[in-house]
Amino acid sequence: MGLRINSNTAAINSWRNLQKTDREMSKSLERLSSGEKINRAADGPANLVIAEQMKAQVKSLEQAVSNSEISISMVQTSEASLSEVNNILVNMRQLALHAANEGANDDKMLAADQAEIDNSLRTLDGIAKQAQFGSRNLLDGSNGVSGVAIGEGIRFVKAEPNTQSSPADGYVVDINEAATRAKMVGERTLTQEEINEGNIQITLQEGGNSMTYFSKVGETMDAIIKNVEQLISQNNLNVEVGLTEEGQLFVEHNEYGSEPTFGAVVSVAGFLAEEANVMEEAVQGLDVQGTIGGELSYGSGQFLTAARGTRAEGLTLQYTGGLKTQPQVDVEGNPIKQTATDEQGNPIGVPQRDEDGEIVLDEDGETVMDFSPQPAAPVEATEGNIYISNSSLTFQIGPNEGQTVSIDLPNVNTQTLSRGIDNESGFAALGDMDVTTFQGSQDSLKLIDQSIYEISSARGRLGAFQKNTLESNLNNLRYASENLISAESVIRDTDMAAEMSNFTKQQILLSSGMAMLGQANQTPKSVLSLLNAQ
What whole-number distance in Å separates Cα of residue 12 and Cα of residue 1? 17
Residue-by-residue DSSP string for 338-387: ---B-TTS-B----EE-TTSPEE-STTS--EE-----PPPB--EEEEEEE
Rounded mean pLDDT for each run of 10 residues along the chain, 534 residues in total: 73 89 87 86 88 93 96 96 96 95 90 96 95 93 89 90 91 94 91 76 93 86 90 94 90 95 91 90 95 94 95 93 57 46 46 45 47 47 86 93 92 91 92 94 95 95 95 95 92 87 89 87 76 66
Q: In CATH, what number does 181-285 get? A: 2.60.40
Tally of CB atoms within 10 A around 195 = 19
Strand partners, 265: 203
For 219-254, how does the pLDDT look when each residue is reduced to its tens digit (9 = 90+)?
888 888 999 999 999 999 999 999 998 888 999 999
With 0-12 / 13-18 / 19 or more C-beta atoms within 10 angstroms meaning exposed / middle / buried, residue 145 is buried
Q: Buried b / exposed e across 179-190, counting CB within 10 Å, b at 16+?
A: bbbbbbebeebb
Collapsed DSSP state (helix, strand, coil) of residue 254: strand
Give me the DSSP letters along 448-512.
Answer: HHHHHHHHHHHHHHHHHIIIIIIIHHHHHHHHHHHHHHHHHHHHHB--HHHHHHHHHHHHHHHHH
Report whether 253 contacts 183 (CB < 8 A): yes
- 22-46 pLDDT, tens digit per residue, is 888 888 888 888 888 888 888 888 9
pTM given for the model? 0.69
- What is the SS3 assignment for 181? strand
Intervals of CATH 2.60.40 along the chain = 181-285
Distance CA 465, CA 407 (A): 8
